Amino acid sequence: MPHVLGIDLGAARTHAALRRRQGDRWDDPEPLWLGDNSPATASALFLDDEGYLLTGDAAAHAGAAAPSRLITGFHRRIGDDVPAFVGGEPFTPESLTTVFVEGIVDVAASQAGGAARHLVITHPGDWGGYRRELLRRSLGESGFTAATLVPSAVAALYAHLPDPGPGDRTAAVCEFGPDGVTVTLATATGASGWVSRTSVEGVAPGSAISTAFGLAQTANIPPDSLAGVVFCGGPGPGAPSGRLPCPVFVGPQPALTAAVGAAVFASQRTSPLARREAPAAETTLLPRLDRAPELPERPERPPVEITPFTLPEPEGTAKLLRRWRPLAAAAAVLAISSSILVAVLTSHEATAGKEPASPRPPALSSCAHPASAPSGEGHC
């Protein structure tokens, strides 16, 4: 049965949803069961002893016994110059992400009875063209030529607002996560789909709605003119309290919202609506090309300022020693010089009053005495 697949790559857990086609219509998206005990699976890879990469929960279980062979957060590192090392082996982050995607596609093929006709993968909203092109090229080399990359906030919008309608529309997305809420403002104009415009990260859960309205007012859009505010992510945000000027969409499983929206968007890419003439500006379609295009220019890295480390001032005895250290060194040099001078002067005084000893004249023999004469045989 023909189907499409949407994958929401999360930092810790990954969700997926597929949508089947029945004749000339599409069924509602259904979650794809990936984990051991839940539809989500761990965003993890493990390199076993035979050189194979395990994915998902199986990788997380195996990594508990050998953490050096486990790697997580690999897709967040796409675009880094330094490769990712797993068990001492270097891999590019985009190749690891492709292997992880392949595992999910295989699960979908086994459950749906064939390969997906189109694939939509979410990515963080702050990705630029360079990172998307790296992943796009890696997917293309592995045979995923019918795939689209889309920000996770945009995918979440397609779960509740798949057809923005005519004219210019604006909506907000609140993505709940362990590090706070990411609030994104998105727009749709004419024939284009949803496109993210601006976002704020690390918002407190209680301030998510007010932040969304603040972004709308900054864009000169009254809150009551918003097409809606979509809640997604995990843990579940819960129902908003109070009466709000625009619709708020919260699904039964907010963690699956982006994956479901990605599946809806994949079905539209397979059979686009009549009014759609071009893909959204921030999506990347993977075409069939004989020669891979050149990568866009690498984005400039921010300047790095190195602040010299200043040692703290010594206290107590150490401070006194540091203060008197130059004086002590000078005193030591003076003492040594004085000792050498005294030694030289003492040696000179010991030898100054003594005359040098003259050699002793030799003793004269009786034969050499001038007044004596030879007195007989045997004498001189």
Residue 156 has pLDDT above 60, yes or no: yes
Residue range 139-152: mean pLDDT, rounded: 93
The answer to whether position 340 is within a domain reads no
Burial class (CB in 10 A: 0-12, 13-18, 19+), 252: exposed
What pLDDT does residue 336 have? 83
- Of 159, 169, 81, 83, which Cα lies nearest the Cα of 122? 159
- At 308, is the pLDDT very low, low, confident or very high (cuts 50, 70, 90)? low
Residue 225 belongs to domain with CATH number: 3.30.420.40
Strands 284-285 vs 147-151: parallel, antiparallel or unpaired: antiparallel
The answer to whether position 361 is within a domain reads no
**Across-strand partners of 233?**
176
Distance of CA 155 to the CA centre of its chain: 23
Domain count, the chain: 1
Give me the torsion for CA of 347, 351, 353, 359, rounded to 10°: 180
How high does pLDDT run on average in the chain? 81
**pLDDT tens digits, one per residue of 272-290:** 543 344 444 344 444 444 4
Distance, CA of 355 to CA of 136 (rounded, Å) = 106
The answer to whether position 271 is within a domain reads yes
- Of 261, 215, 161, 229, which Cα lies nearest the Cα of 239? 229
> pTM (2 decimals)?
0.72
The answer to whether position 325 is within a domain reads no
The answer to whether position 295 is within a domain reads no
The answer to whether position 274 is within a domain reads yes
What pLDDT does residue 69 have? 92
The answer to whether position 338 is within a domain reads no
Longest Cα–Cα distance in the chain? 167
The answer to whether position 167 is within a domain reads yes
Compute the C-alpha angle 282/26/257, nearest 5°: 50
Residues of the domain holding 134 = 3-285
